[in-house]
Amino acid sequence: MSKAQVSLRKKDILGLEAMPAAEMELILDTAKEMKNIIDRDIKKAPTLRGKAIVNLFFENSTRTRTSFELAGKYLGADVINISTSSSSVAKGESLRDTLLTVEAMGVDIIVMRHEAEGSAQFAANIARPVIINAGDGAHEHPTQGLLDMFTIKQFKGRLAGLKVAIVGDILHSRVARSNVWGLQKMGAEVHLAGPQTLLPREIEKIGIQVHNRVEDALDQADVVNVLRIQRERQQKGLFPSAREYARIFGINAKRLALAKQDALLMHPGPMNRGLEIAPDIAYGDQSAIQEQVKNGLAVRMALLFLVLMGGTHIEAAH
């Protein structure tokens, strides 16, 4: 199938587990075009004029919410943000009711971040607007997965055949899961590493390599993707101390040197410098962390465009 014939199969973007490789490629190709818009003086394309997007965030987020907001605005859509710090259940209004209320206002896309795994699927079953999952609990964060792939492709020119090490709290990480699905489908070799207490039981059954020794995962890696460690995990007793984590599992210059000389260092942010990542390498020569943020915007613009315009080609982005 030629790229021109590929289009997004489903109404919603819920995760990368079910997304075919061809669709991911379409999104990445489209993002390349979108990235040009970000660098323009006047960052406004009329492509989504007259369309309405709601960012419905049940969890705090600066990075992802801002990225989606700007993505929509750069493409000319009307974007509003609804943030709430507690679950819909705690507030007394069900998620169903909230979604139907937003739907009744005629919005075209609901970008949803929610602490509960499967909430995006739940929303897609209920609401007519397109649902884009901006993170559902520890399940998936598809746009982060896509922007990570986009970044790797930008620096390495390819994804197939690369060794990608993902290091840190895999257990609670939606980023790790989306990365695993996306990278595997694109032919990369994924290695996960972290303390056993932060690795999901039986995760190796999905065909990836799992290590407790970070060094084994880093050995000759093309890409090192470091995940954020939330300090509350230590309070829950999943590892003894931040100090010990940094010493045994943290990525520093010495450990990074085990990877290939030109290995790319990534982090979905926000970083805990001195915990999971050493300050000197966070923005060092190998770091792609700032570029990830920019690419996130491009990928989200591409997605908004593709889900609304039903794009089978990318000319309209120009």
Partner 1 sequence: MKLLIKGGRIINPAENMDVVGDILIENGKIAAIGSSCPAAGAEIIDAAGLVVTPGLVDMHVHLREPGLEAKEDIASGTRAAAAGGFTTIACMPNTRPAIDSSIVVAGLTQRAKTEGVVKLKIIGALSKGLEGRELAEIGDMIESGAVAISDDGGHLDSTRLLKTGLEYTGMFGRPVITHSEDEGLANEGFMHEGAVSAVLGLKGRPAVAEDIAVARDIMLAEYANAPIHIAHVSSKGAVEIIRQAKQRGVKVTAEATPHHLTLTDEELRTFNTAFKVNPPLRSAEHVAALIDGLKDGTLDAIATDHAPHAFEEKDVEFRYAPSGFAGLETAVGVVLTGLYHTGKLTLPEIIAKLSYGPAKILGLDSGVLKVGAPADITIIDTEYKWAVDCIKFYTRGKHSPFESRNLKGKPLITIVNGSIIMQNGEVLK
Q: Which residues bind partner 1 (CB under 8 A)?
A: 17, 87-89, 94-96, 114, 116-119, 121-122, 136-140, 172, 174, 177, 200-203, 205-206
Tell whether residue 44 is among the known ligand binding residues: no
Is 174 annotated to bind a ligand? Reply is: yes
Comparison of 202 and 315: residue with beta carbon closer to partner 1: 202
Please identify, using beta-carbon distances, which residue of 198 and 282 lies nearer to partner 1: 198
Catalytic residue annotation:
63-64, 91, 113, 141
Q: How far is the CB of 142 from partner 1 (least distance, A)?
A: 13
State in angstroms the smallest separation of the CB of 94 from partner 1: 6
Residue 7 structure tokens: 């289009």
Residue 300 counted as an annotated binding residue:
no
Closest CB 139 distance from partner 1, rounded Å = 4
Based on CB atoms, which residue is closest to partner 1, 76 or 200?
A: 200
Nearer to partner 1 among residue 15 and residue 72 (C-beta): 15
51: annotated binding-site residue?
no
- Quote the Cα angle for 304-290-317, to 5°: 25
Closer CB to partner 1, residue 177 or residue 300?
177
Query: Does the annotation flag 254 for ligand binding?
Result: no
Q: Is 91 annotated as a binding residue?
A: yes
In angstroms, the CA 150 to CA 252 distance is: 24
Residue 3 counted as an annotated binding residue? no
Smallest distance, partner 1 to C-beta of residue 169, A: 12
The three state secondary structure string of the chain is CCHHHCCCCCCCECCCCCCCHHHHHHHHHHHHHHHHHHCCCCCCCCCCCCCEEEEEECCCCCHHHHHHHHHHHHCCCEEEEEECCCCHHHHCCCHHHHHHHHHHCCCCEEEEEECCCCHHHHHHHHCCCEEEEEEECCCECHHHHHHHHHHHHHHHCCCCCCEEEEECCCCCCHHHHHHHHHHHHCCCEEEEECCHHHCCCCHHHHCCEEECCHHHHHCCCCEEEECCCCHHHHHCCCCCCHHHHHHHCCECHHHHCCCCCCCEEECCCCCCECCCECHHHHCCCCECHHHHHHHHHHHHHHHHHHHHHCCCCCHHHC
Question: CB of 157: closest distance to partner 1 in angstroms?
Answer: 30
CA distances to 161, 198, 270, 309 from 281, in Å? 25, 23, 15, 41
Known binding residues: 63-64, 91, 113, 141, 144, 174, 228, 269-270
Known binding residues for carbamoyl phosphate: 63-64, 113, 141, 144, 269-270
